[in-house]
A and B are shown apart, each in its own frame.
Chain A
Amino acid sequence: AQTVTQSQPEMSVQEAETVTLSCTYDTSESDYYLFWYKQPPSRQMILVIRQEAYKQQNATENRFSVNFQKAAKSFSLKISDSQLGDAAMYFCAYTRSGSRLTFGEGTQLTVNP
């Protein structure tokens, strides 16, 4: 079974600085998809960024980028120029085919002004 591990239960960053959230996963598949989802307090979870395993290029979305290391099964999220609105729980997720997402346990990000 696929597992997703987020080893940092909590992280904090100063506003305008950069923070990296870690994620590792376990799979025997060669084709799959990885995601970072953001869940602000009392608000719905939203997709931040998506990476296809067959693509060597790391995905980027404005201030959000990933470091995808397929051989190491590592998928970290870098948030640049952190803003107060980035404060949330961040979940790393994996799917082989899109039919079922497996989520990690989450990293609570605090942004300090």
Chain B
Amino acid sequence: EAGVVQSPRYKIIEKKQPVAFWCNPISGHNTLYWYRQNLGQGPELLIRYENEEAVDDSQLPKDRFSAERLKGVDSTLKIQPAELGDSAVYLCASSPGVGRTGELFFGEGSRLTVL
């Protein structure tokens, strides 16, 4: 079974530039999450999808962050324009949902450095 795939693994950009991250969840996992992990801290939820619907985006800074999950499969997280404080690892995770509460399968993350 293929795991959660994220790209790019690393991205370095200058502030005010746009950046996008892509995630392909495990096949059959209807729930997809984007988390942000700052250095030395635990992940914090940005957005959660159930199929193609964003059901929890309360933590997403909507002035500069956007996300989509077309067709309920892969997803893209975009930041425009990036700020210095956006430097972090962006983690994508998926979950099979019912019966396995809280069991998330994470990708390797996309490390963003904003200069």
Contact = CB atoms under 8 A, between A and B. Distances in A.
Interface of A: 4, 33, 35, 42-47, 50, 91, 93, 95, 97-101, 103-106
Contacts of B42: 4, 91, 93, 103-106
B48 A105 contact: no
Contact of A100 (B4, B40, B56): B56
B56 A99 contact: yes
A50 B101 CA distance: 9
Interface in B33-76: 40-45, 48, 55-56
Instruction: Output the residue of B40, B91, B102 with the most chain A CB within 10 A.
Output: B102
Contacts of A97: 101
Interface residue tally on B, bucketed by range: 20 to 34
A102 B59 CA distance: 12
Contact of B103 (A42, A50, A103): A50
Nearest to A103: B42
A47 B109 contact: no
Given A44-B108, A44-B109, A98 B95 contact: yes
B108 A42 contact: yes
Nearest to B109: A44
A47 B104 contact: yes
B114 to A, nearest CB: 20
A33 B101 CA distance: 8
Given A91-B42, A103-B42, A44 B4 contact: yes
Contacts of A35: 102-103
Given A91-B42, A101-B45, A101-B104, A44 B3 contact: yes
Nearest to A35: B102
B25 interface: no
B100 to A, nearest CB: 8
B106 interface: yes
Contacts of A101: 43, 45, 102, 104
8 contacts: A4-B42, A33-B102, A45-B43, A45-B91, A45-B104, A45-B106, A101-B45, A103-B44
Given A42-B108, A43-B108, A104-B42, A98 B101 contact: yes
